[in-house]
A and B are shown apart, each in its own frame.
Chain A
């Protein structure tokens, strides 16, 4: 196992309490930052660390912090994005449940760097039991002088609150999140203005993912340069990966960026290999929104190089033969998986979650769901496959927020890499009457099928 910066103490009994967390060195970053560093120095360390946003887009965190409008007279806010709704992703939940004080510590240190006096953790409403865990941890932090007025006797004061959402994937998009935090429907805003200039209550705001904020703690404790030593190139540090699907050991793993994909899937340290030792068919490496890759392309790039768990390596080959690290939602599928059925479930998800503001997204996701349903249930036409590609293309890049792209990419990539499976559905409807067809009879490529017949 590589270095553990976030989950190092996760197995410690009682680590969810302030006392144990503190005994294990917790809140040292707050002491260091508030007593020995200026806010700009904290931001500078985050820049040096090369930390990239862990919510999905991978935007450099230090740079985002430096864009915050510090000249404005208005209050500034740090808002933690704990909406975690991207299918395949459950790392933030794990972190908040097991070691809530790490997030709170990161929020204090981060808020200090940004000059925020009030900060919020926006958490998806379905995580209601974690609201309780966070509320308790925050109360403990107040009681021990790490939140509230004059933290540790300095002149820095901060209030931190938890705010639950109520079931809407779109509220993970940062501007929709801010609308929701203002008590409105989660409709994404047109950008610019960016939140750094006009965010929560039209004030300068930084929105960061749970894991990004937690990573600030080791960065301040050990220095940004130390953090940057881990990983490869522009993929520095460690990353939490949520592993699910047909593997022996699903769960959350903290990896040093740069672990080979093959090792991640097959090593006992991580996923432990395929669930029933069947062959690997495909992987969605970064949450449902990123392109799906077939086994050969996830293990090796088109150039034949080993694929690594880094931002760069996973996107090598662009959308033709690559994918993205995204949120680190790593979904593994064996050869019993029906790609069409899986894609239909994702299409239904995006249709369900579209906020409805832009017609390409609202209508397009609906069409894609319907056409996929038709194909999946054996009523499709050959023309439907290209129709799907066409609809996906028309959505991509033509919407207010990236949910439209997120809905289009999985469709385009599944058809690119598994077209014959879609054609099989159209050609042999009688073979797919059973909704779990491929779970029973692993998909055979058409060539093999002819041999069987």
Chain B
């Protein structure tokens, strides 16, 4: 059995109260974010069932939502998920080079995880940073105007201290 930490559960209850009586299903997206950051960076069937229980909705209602949105990982990912934007404006400023540089450095292709389980490389669509291209996101942080030197430093830094997006952090809760 999995269970939220006390902080996460408190936050979940606070979020549910933001929606009118009977409309608690609205809290599904935020609570899935919370669950993903609490339980290893991805949503296992067990995690999704747990969320369904918290919101008192059917598991299928959770599955269909989790599979629709690209930020929910339905498979395990590395400790650091490197999401490189590859849409037009980033492409103009070298997104391809970023993908191949990381790929060569870590010996992985987009969609794969490095042998040590540390890094997963993923290509994503426009992240709203087109003016600071090329860019990637890791956890909640944006890394912009990337160069090879910056990528070297970044991978070194993240390798030593993996950074995962935590919804709790957005509420000033440190975990």
Whether a CB of chain A sits under 8 angstroms from the CB of B110 is: no
**Chain A residues near B70 (CB, 8 Å)?**
166-168
Q: Quick check: A132 and B171 within 8 Å, CB to CB? A: yes
**Chain A residues near B26 (CB, 8 Å)?**
163, 181-183
A128-B170, A168-B68, A252-B131 known; A183 vs B92 contact (CB < 8 Å): no
Q: Quick check: B92 and A166 within 8 Å, CB to CB? A: no
Q: Quick check: B126 and A166 within 8 Å, CB to CB? A: no
CA distance A349 to B125 in the complex (A): 7
Q: Quick check: B126 and A87 within 8 Å, CB to CB? A: yes
CA distance A126 to B129 in the complex (A): 11
Question: In the complex, how many angstroms separate the beta carbon of B46 from the nearest chain A beta carbon?
Answer: 19
Q: Quick check: B131 and A353 within 8 Å, CB to CB? A: no
CA distance A250 to B93 in the complex (A): 11
Question: In the complex, how many angstroms separate the beta carbon of A435 from the nearest chain B beta carbon?
Answer: 7
Whether a CB of chain B sits under 8 angstroms from the CB of A244 is: yes
Whether a CB of chain A sits under 8 angstroms from the CB of B48 is: no
Q: Quick check: A331 and B130 within 8 Å, CB to CB? A: yes
Which residues from 11 to 37 on chain B have a C-beta closer than 8 Å to any C-beta of chain A?
18, 20, 23, 25-30, 32-33
A128-B140, A167-B69, A288-B88 known; A118 vs B131 contact (CB < 8 Å): no
Main secondary structure of the interface of A (DSSP, over half): mixed
Question: In the complex, how many angstroms separate the beta carbon of A362 from the nearest chain B beta carbon?
Answer: 14
Question: In the complex, how many angstroms separate the beta carbon of B62 from the nearest chain A beta carbon?
Answer: 9
Q: Quick check: B131 and A243 within 8 Å, CB to CB? A: yes
CA distance A331 to B28 in the complex (A): 35
Count, chain B residues at interface, CB 8 A: 48
Among A118, A136, A161, chain B packs the most CB atoms within 10 A around the CB of: A161
Partner of A164, one of B33, B87, B91, B128: B33
Partner of A337, one of B28, B92, B137, B140: B92
Q: Quick check: A331 and B89 within 8 Å, CB to CB? A: yes
**Chain B residues near A436 (CB, 8 Å)?**
96
Binds B, one of A2-10, A308-316, A338-346, A365-373: A338-346
**Chain A residues near B169 (CB, 8 Å)?**
132
Q: Quick check: A329 and B125 within 8 Å, CB to CB? A: no
Question: In the complex, how many angstroms separate the beta carbon of B86 from the nearest chain A beta carbon?
Answer: 7
Q: Quick check: B29 and A88 within 8 Å, CB to CB? A: no
**Chain A residues near B88 (CB, 8 Å)?**
87-88, 284, 288, 331, 342, 345-346, 349
Which single residue of chain B is at the shortest CB-CB distance from A122? B29
CA distance A126 to B86 in the complex (A): 15
Whether a CB of chain A sits under 8 angstroms from the CB of B143 is: no
Which single residue of chain A is at the shortest CB-CB distance from B93? A245
Whether a CB of chain A sits under 8 angstroms from the CB of B64 is: yes
Which single residue of chain A is at the shortest CB-CB distance from B28? A183
Whether a CB of chain A sits under 8 angstroms from the CB of B146 is: no
Which single residue of chain B is at the shortest CB-CB distance from A251? B131
Partner of B87, one of A246, A250, A346: A346
Q: Quick check: B125 and A87 within 8 Å, CB to CB? A: yes
Whether a CB of chain A sits under 8 angstroms from the CB of B47 is: no
Partner of B29, one of A135, A180, A251, A352: A180
Which single residue of chain B is at the shortest CB-CB distance from A246? B92
Contacts from A to B (Cβ < 8 Å) = 75, 84-90, 92-93, 118, 124-129, 131-132, 135-136, 159, 161, 163-169, 180-186, 201, 242-246, 250-252, 284, 288, 329, 331, 333, 337, 341-342, 345-346, 349, 352-353, 435-436
| 7 A-B residue pairings within 8 Å (CB atoms) | A93-B129, A136-B172, A166-B29, A166-B33, A167-B70, A183-B27, A288-B126
The 3 closest A-B pairs by CB, nearest first: A166-B69, A167-B71, A250-B131
Beyond A201-B23, A250-B130: 7 further Cβ-contacts under 8 Å? A128-B165, A128-B167, A159-B18, A163-B26, A167-B69, A183-B29, A244-B130
